[in-house]
Structure 1
Amino acid sequence: MDYSLNEKPLKLNPPLFVPCDLDEFRDPNKEHSDAASEACDALDKLSAQDEISVSSIISALLRPIEPLDDQYKQCDWGIDPKSFLPVKQAVIFKEQLFISKLRNTKCKLSENIKIFFERELQQIGKFCMNVEEAFDGYVVYSSSKMKKDKGITECGHQLKGKYDDHFQLICEKRSEFDRIDHGHLEKTLEVRNHADLHLTAIRETKINEEIQKFKATIDIKDRDHTFVLDGGIQLLMRHLICHNFVGNFEYYTMNLYGRVLRCNLLVHKDRKLVRIFYRTYKNTVHIITQQCFNDELQDVAETFMTPEGRIVLHFWRGYNYLLHAVCAPPKKKETIVPKLELMWRQNVSLTRKFHDLKSLNYENTTNFLKSNSELADFMQDYVINVLRYKPTNVLEFSIMFFQNMSAT
């Protein structure tokens, strides 16, 4: 294979290595020991021009070995979930999201650009998640609360789980509460992993005062993939993003009805653009959650996360609810601007002069009416006619009234 660089032949002067007797330079009795040592060190160094030439030759030789983009996309990512090394600081942080309802549209998958505006979303609740460090792994807390039915009723969930350093489930408890018609519904699932690789799951459904409880034991000894619940899924997603994972990550989970599901996280290599309200996220990682129904993986949820592992947008397919990181900025209260003719009242000196002039005008007007008694009769006659006829245009009526009076 010929790699031509279109450069002049490489000349190395002096040669890269010259054999020499090290014992000779260690002898303190030799007069030229120091000089010979410096000469030997100088032979091991390249000039700046030669070093650049060698670097370019190595780069040219290695460049054809790197895979192309097409080969990269077709590569089979055969990664064992249990082989990940934990980096705790990458996934330990608190996250607060907003829950909104789409007004007239539904969420769609596989769109290149996601844009949501204030007129499309109606905020109905909040979601909070916190990951803390434990002695042997992680502790996950999450909760949500949202209003439904025009804000009359509330629903939400509470979750607390513990996982080891390799994201294996130790225990987790999740409960959801909702109100349907006149009944209060609460569903709880508690799963615990034992040392002999079997799970104990307790499922409880409570409707008002009626309680149904079920208990089951699940053997996970021969399962090759990780078994996690909702809290562990969030940990896995953060861990995958922080380690630049691309491809499929398979795992098992259990829903609140006690059914074990085989799932998959599909992490795309291409970055997306997401705009929510006033903020734009340019390099979000696109993750699709898939669940197996009738031995076929189907897309059920979609998540956009920052390269640091924070959720930007998350929604479920077929539902009108979504989680998002930012909300609309608070609207500024409109200040009541007084009318132009009343703005002078804000000035103290002008207000004082107005009151002085008002009292003076009242006194002058009273004296004038006392000296001209016939004018008081005219004013009384005018007020009586206004009250009697109740004109729609008082100004026009007043002009006609006094014109007729002057004519008589």
Structure 2
Amino acid sequence: MSGNNTVLARNTENAPKNALFSQTVAFSHYNHLSAQLPIDPTSGEMVVGGIKEQAEQCFKNIKAIVDSIDHVMDDVVRVTVFVKNISDVDTVDAVYKTFFQSYVPTRTVVAVAALPMDALVQVEAIVSNGEGTIPNAPQAGDIIKVTNNTENAPTSSLSTQTVAFSHYNHLSAQLPIDPKSGELVAGGIKEQAGQCLKNIKAILEGIDVPFDDIVKINVFLKNHSDLEAVNEVYSTFFPDSAIARAVAYVPARTTVEVAALPMDALIQIEAVVSHGDGTPPQAVEDRHGLIIEANNTKEAPINALSTQTVAFSHFNHFSAQLPLDPKTGEMVSGGVKEQAAQCLTNIKAIVESIDHVMEDIVKVNIYLKDITDTDAVDEVYKTYFPTGIPARRTVGVSALPSDALIQVEVIVSNAEGTPPTVA
């Protein structure tokens, strides 16, 4: 029955519309929303005011999209907040509390170098989709969210450590906080990276999930020059089990330099985790024993620390693609247009290597060294996504690996799902 899942893109007049991307794209049991800017949908202009007014408009736009697909804000499982100034987080938090008054989703907060339209804040969300997207078939409309916090990792009144829905657990981004003291761990980047990963491991142990069930890791770094040191620590955590070591399994991964992080941390790490048992009341045959399918192709750049794409259940999570020529391993010549084309060509090669097509992409995340390159990137983007279906996020960053001008990551639907383990 899983083969009948469809990509369902939707837009409402009550939130800002853009011809290049959809407001929300549902597939199976998740809705992926485009990042929302503080734009008044009536005027198409930035809302008047400062950070408070901008944050309110971002969340109003999210709520309008959620309402338009017959969901409620408590169906949000993850929120990502991008701010221009980390000092604005307290004001954003005050607004955030008015939209999530009891239940709180998982959350990531980072300050970035720039946002589209010179906005002060941009917010995106992932929303559960209990009815799924299989047409004309009975659905598990009463699938439940499962939230969990453990004292062995840092807790926050503004976020839940992990929220499971259907076959995925979404974790809040972890700072290098010692859960006993509530303070940043002593030391430098290595100690901080180790603490972030220890916190993730503690959360997973709290829900009886192995560390190697992680399918995607996102690393947010204050200084990209710290990446080599982070990789040393990272390699001690992945692979984690004998089985994973035997096949050299590592999750898909994206690394981004950010302008600032909460508590002036040097690093923050978030994880997306497979959940083979699903959440009730999924039928036994639909939930037990699903396997992770990791894939690399020589037609795209290969990295020993990340897998190009990791499939689980009905989604493929991709590592962010740099504008590297897979044949030479070097940066493609040219400017941002040529680099954007190479990133998307690499993505297309990976998509085709797993017998999918570009129309199966549900979400695109674009990281730009210079936010003013957006128009040039959009010219290239249109040739790969002429229908404008995927949801999208664009942020400006101060540095990218290999001194690239652009980096692109995607999430791809997986209609056939992944098979259960056969005894």
TM score, norm. by length of structure 2 = 0.24
State the structure with bigger RCO (CA 8 A, min sep 6), 1 or 2. 2
Structure showing greater radius of gyration is 1
